[in-house]
Structure 1
Amino acid sequence: MTIELVWFKRDLRIHDNQALVDASNSGEDVVCIFLVEPERLAQPDCDPIHVEWELDCARSLERELKELGGSLDIRNEDALTALEAIHSGHGISTVRSHEEIGTEWSFERDKRVKKWCSENGVEWVEYPTNGVIRGLTDRDKWKYSRDRRMRLELLEPPEQLNGPDLGTEVPTLESMGIVSRGLVHRPEPGQSAAWETLKSFLNERGEPYRWSMSGPSQAVVHCSRLSPYLSVGCISMRRVVQETSARMRELRELRSGGEEIGGWLKSLSSFQSRLAWHCHFMQKLENEPTLDNVAQNPLIDRNLARELDGERFAAWAEGGTGWPFFDACMRSLVATGWINFRMRAMLMSAASYNLWLPWRDVGLHLARMFLDYEPGIHWSQVGMQSGTTGINSVRAYSVTKQGRDHDAEGDFIRSWVPELSEVPKEHIHEPWKMPEPLQEKLGCVIGSDYPFPIVDEASTRKEGVRMTYAARRGEGTREVSKRVYEKHGSRRRPSRRRKEKKPDSKQTKLF
């Protein structure tokens, strides 16, 4: 008697999980595993917050599988070690998993697993993830394929799972020698928490989304906050897309009946666009799994010749630059594991254009800080915001302007930079301009209690932009940029309002 092995990767859910459904329908016993791989723990983009979050979500999944009669074998082992052990003890007929859209190490690991399966007579069936098309040869066809996939029927979990409980001791942070960073306000783990988060966004928190996503104080409430769940698959992208579409149809019906719906439709339309961007950026990493190591346009990267300045990097990474709004955003990110999208771009922009730091060092730090780290999105954005793609506009954010636009009163700054808690509104964004007697009176002496700006923000940004455009004009850069566009560029066309198609699923309502 052999077994079907479901290898949970970044799909930690029982609902809308094709691998789990097909395994349960096979007629064989089913064993489910989740691996905390030592090789992954050694990667420079991995942080204790990721391991703790994944373990907590896996434990939540374990409880759900037990309710179905199954179990989850959680192991601190590399993939081949785990497969060898399970195969020798039980005989694996089929491994089922979702495609993993990761960096080069996971790509290489999957090649080793494929080779092992071939050598041992084991079939490995992989299922698509989100809207990413494996083996895509024509970027022009991507949107159609992605949208079609998002309309496929949502899958119910199996009614019953049968299979042995392998009884492996569940690893802990302590047993793996990992020290928790103890994030502030970390979300609850698991599928049920993901559903509740989606429900509250679509029905309560999401109306101001379109107008609130840019400011860090507003975004923490009115953004969906689904990204940590999507990053480990506690909820499927297809479900989020279909539930959003169903809510929009409901809102249109209410409006046609004469009810006031406020800004809901505009906000959810913006949200839908960002769900598509999520898949678009992940597709880039699928097409080029070295994005975390090699710039999309290496010639531009070479021409930029950025060098790692330890003092500047430390000030940037710790939120000690002397730019109040920047420091507040970085400290908030380090403490909570989350900051909104525009502020992520600003953090990257300041490192790239003001401080002239290398994109990979900066990108690795941010990857470790993001609880919702999604390599495809992250490294695509790092390339864009550092000016190393050659196909995107140079976006150099003014830190001071961002602060005035999104934290005019300075409340966000004061909440995360207590050194400035007594500084009044008129000086909060540029405290170094306060008269010295006022600094002493407030107990905030610049250069002592809070640093002077590490560099002049306006002049370094201007010079950074100039040097970036100069790097783009170097020999051969345009030809490389053309190839980058053909491989990765957005194929968005001028939009025309079309009647929205209903999903193929008969289960469009979750709530």
Structure 2
Amino acid sequence: MQVLWFKRDLRLSDHLPLFEAMRNAKHQGLVLPLYIHEPSQIADAHTARQHQLFVHECLDDLQQQFEQVGGYLHEELGEAVEVLAALHAQFKFTHLWAHQETTQLAQYKRDQAVAAWCKSMGVAFMELPQNNVQRNTFMANPFAEKVNFQTYLDRAAQEEIKNPAGRNLQAFFAPKPPNGLNRAKVPHAAGEDKPLRLKGGRAQARAVAAKFFTPAKLKSYPFSISSPLKAWNGCSRLSPYLAYGVVSDREVLQKLNALVNTVHGQNDAYLITKVEDAARFFVERLIWRQGYFQQFENHTGLETDAFYAEEPVETNEEFLLAWQQGRTGFAYIDALQRFLGQTGWLNMRARATLVSFACVQLGLPWQPVALYLAQQFLDFEPAIHYGQVRIASGTSHFSQMLVYDPVKQQLEQDPKGEFIKRWLPEFGTPAYPSPIVENAESLKLGKARLHAMRQSRLV
């Protein structure tokens, strides 16, 4: 028997481990698809209730996808090695298939423990690459062809995506284990759900993609990503579905390519130019995404390590709490936090503004800032998140210091105060606090502190 282990790849389409496990079923044994609810990962400080419920919605949808091709998804509760050991004792499976993931340290250590267990038990752990991320220790893997990302993009736009939908694959699945999981027994992650977050699942992802991939939406995309007023409806909003592997980057690229081809068929030269320009702009963001993945793969210390000897280490708890609660007296910052608290989402410029204000003007260490936002962002993707936080906090190796003046950002992104009025109703009333720091002075001091830090020796 073979086990197919799902983690942050909750789909059937464009799923290489699924395809390879099915292809090898005749020689290596029937396939048991598995998802493990791991108490240690649920209790991890990065994980919030909204993430867990989003995953549950994705699993419900994935279960339906499996049923439509004659299969099932088996769910277990327990630590990964313990669950796999129990299944191995019962079924003596010979292969464990999974995607290689570039993720936070707790999950990477879990994957290493699983690899060590597989080696000790003589189980072949077939961990296949994705997102064109290169892991040196897996270069011997025949599936890990090393190509540059532009070549990967070119191929991704053209290659046929393997999708089992519409086929009857019942003969390839192992008999379903008799005891299914009652999800009521799964411990809850910390925090509360967010009322306006996106819902999980492949069907939801398709609906979001269909709304975005139109000529009008794509054409306006480059002009809609900076202001939170426009970004809510102007961005693709696919980030949570990419973060949890509900869709693959290749599928998104093919959606984009199909739209461009459709526009070409309309023979409108002006529209073709605008849509092509916007498509290139969108692809640039996918390239940035892959760059963050590769950087995190190569430098796992982005999540934990100080790069400079003079990085702040002491946390002003009063400042941190005011920033988290949207009670800083800076209306734009506070409105962004309130919006985030309801939706689980912000556009990239707004995210950088929050981090810059917290770390540069309030002098907070990047670690508690990054951890809090990881809990708040539904689309928390460790590689992207920590890469962006380190840049916006000034603690990366990035040559430029990107400091966002919150007053200037408010004037540029919310000039009429519409966003603030909606999400910060107490603004302008006696209940709203005075600024906890003076803007110009805190910017000056913060920039000087950053400059001095970056002149210090590297750790």
When normalised by structure 1's length, the TM-score is 0.82
- Whichever residue aligns with residue 278 of structure 2, its letter is S
- Indicate which of 293, 302, 309 corresponds to 1:282: 293
- Whichever residue aligns with residue 156 of structure 2, its letter is M
Aligned partners of 1:144, 1:269: CA distance in 2, in Å? 12
Q: Does 1:11 align with 2:9?
A: yes
Aligned partners of 2:380, 2:404: CA distance in 1, in Å? 22
Aligned partners of 1:109, 1:65: CA distance in 2, in Å? 26
Q: Give 2:279's aligned residue.
A: 268
Aligned partners of 2:336, 2:356: CA distance in 1, in Å? 13
Q: Give 1:392's aligned residue.
A: 399
Q: Give 1:486's aligned residue.
A: none
Q: Does 1:212 align with 2:224?
A: yes
- Whichever residue aligns with residue 211 of structure 1, its letter is F
Aligned partners of 1:130, 1:250: CA distance in 2, in Å? 26
Q: Give 2:451's aligned residue.
A: 469
- Indicate which of 230, 242, 245 corresponds to 2:254: 242
The question of whether the paired residues in 2 share the 8 Å contact of 1:99 and 1:128 is answered with yes
Aligned partners of 1:184, 1:205: CA distance in 2, in Å? 25
- Whichever residue aligns with residue 337 of structure 1, its letter is G
Q: Does 1:350 align with 2:357?
A: yes
Q: Give 1:129's aligned residue.
A: 130
Aligned partners of 1:168, 1:277: CA distance in 2, in Å? 43
- Whichever residue aligns with residue 323 of structure 2, its letter is W
Find the residue that maps to 1:35 and give its secondary structure: strand
Q: Give 1:67's aligned residue.
A: 68
- Whichever residue aligns with residue 241 of structure 1, its letter is L
Listed one character per residue, the Cα deviations across residues 214-249 of structure 1 (whole Å, up to 9, x for unaligned) are: 000100001000000001100011111122123223
Shift of 1:409: 1.1
Question: 1:406/1:70 Cα in 2 relative to 1: closer, same or farther (>3 Å)?
Answer: same
Question: 1:163/1:141 Cα in 2 relative to 1: closer, same or farther (>3 Å)?
Answer: closer
Question: 1:213/1:31 Cα in 2 relative to 1: closer, same or farther (>3 Å)?
Answer: same
Question: 1:228/1:249 Cα in 2 relative to 1: closer, same or farther (>3 Å)?
Answer: same
Aligned partners of 2:454, 2:86: CA distance in 1, in Å? 52
- Whichever residue aligns with residue 344 of structure 1, its letter is R
Aligned partners of 1:149, 1:294: CA distance in 2, in Å? 36
Listed one character per residue, the Cα deviations across residues 285-340 of structure 1 (whole Å, up to 9, x for unaligned) are: 11122321113x2xx2x313342000000001111101111100011111110010
Find the residue that maps to 2:219 and give its secondary structure: coil
The question of whether the paired residues in 2 share the 8 Å contact of 1:194 and 1:235 is answered with yes
- Whichever residue aligns with residue 347 of structure 1, its letter is L
Question: 1:193/1:347 Cα in 2 relative to 1: closer, same or farther (>3 Å)?
Answer: same
The question of whether the paired residues in 1 share the 8 Å contact of 2:10 and 2:58 is answered with yes
Aligned partners of 1:21, 1:36: CA distance in 2, in Å? 23
Among all aligned residue pairs of Structure 1 and Structure 2, give the percentage whose two residues are the same amino acid: 31
Q: Give 1:225's aligned residue.
A: 237
The question of whether the paired residues in 1 share the 8 Å contact of 2:21 and 2:97 is answered with yes
Question: 1:148/1:135 Cα in 2 relative to 1: closer, same or farther (>3 Å)?
Answer: farther
Question: 1:173/1:342 Cα in 2 relative to 1: closer, same or farther (>3 Å)?
Answer: farther
- Whichever residue aligns with residue 333 of structure 1, its letter is L
Shift of 1:266: 2.3
Find the residue that maps to 2:336 and give its secondary structure: helix
Task: State the structure with more CA Rg.
Answer: 1
Shift of 1:261: 5.0
Q: Give 1:363's aligned residue.
A: 370
Shift of 1:105: 1.8
Q: Give 1:95's aligned residue.
A: 96
The question of whether the paired residues in 2 share the 8 Å contact of 1:133 and 1:142 is answered with no
- Whichever residue aligns with residue 468 of structure 1, its letter is L
Aligned partners of 2:57, 2:398: CA distance in 1, in Å? 39
Q: Give 1:329's aligned residue.
A: 336
Aligned partners of 2:368, 2:199: CA distance in 1, in Å? 30
- Point out the more displaced range, 224-233 or 58-67: 58-67
Q: Give 1:108's aligned residue.
A: 109
The question of whether the paired residues in 2 share the 8 Å contact of 1:306 and 1:358 is answered with yes
Aligned partners of 2:384, 2:276: CA distance in 1, in Å? 26
Q: Give 2:439's aligned residue.
A: 457
Shift of 1:392: 3.1
For 1:135-150, what aligned pairs fall within 5 Å after superposition?
A: 135=136, 142-144=148-150, 146-147=152-153, 150=156
Shift of 1:367: 0.4
Q: Give 2:192's aligned residue.
A: 181
Structure 1's unaligned 5+ residue stretches are: 424-443, 481-511
The question of whether the paired residues in 2 share the 8 Å contact of 1:44 and 1:364 is answered with yes
- Whichever residue aligns with residue 122 of structure 2, its letter is G
Listed one character per residue, the Cα deviations across residues 48-76 of structure 1 (whole Å, up to 9, x for unaligned) are: 11111112111110111011111111222
Aligned partners of 1:308, 1:29: CA distance in 2, in Å? 53
Shift of 1:13: 0.5
For 1:131-170, what aligned pairs fall within 5 Å after superposition?
A: 131-135=132-136, 142-144=148-150, 146-147=152-153, 150-151=156-157, 152-157=159-164, 159=167, 160-161=169-170, 162-170=173-181
- Whichever residue aligns with residue 360 of structure 1, its letter is Q
Shift of 1:207: 2.3
Q: Does 1:294 align with 2:292?
A: no
- Whichever residue aligns with residue 450 of structure 2, its letter is T
Q: Give 1:20's aligned residue.
A: 18
Q: Give 1:55's aligned residue.
A: 56
Shift of 1:46: 1.4
Shift of 1:145: 5.7
Aligned partners of 1:456, 1:173: CA distance in 2, in Å? 49
The question of whether the paired residues in 2 share the 8 Å contact of 1:7 and 1:33 is answered with yes
Question: 1:175/1:78 Cα in 2 relative to 1: closer, same or farther (>3 Å)?
Answer: closer
- Whichever residue aligns with residue 55 of structure 1, its letter is H
- Whichever residue aligns with residue 463 of structure 1, its letter is L
Aligned partners of 1:265, 1:145: CA distance in 2, in Å? 19
Q: Give 2:143's aligned residue.
A: none
May I ask how many residue pairs the two structures share in their alignment?
443
Shift of 1:342: 0.3
Find the residue that maps to 1:206 and give its secondary structure: helix
- Whichever residue aligns with residue 68 of structure 2, its letter is E
Question: 1:174/1:83 Cα in 2 relative to 1: closer, same or farther (>3 Å)?
Answer: closer
Aligned partners of 1:51, 1:361: CA distance in 2, in Å? 21
When normalised by structure 2's length, the TM-score is 0.91
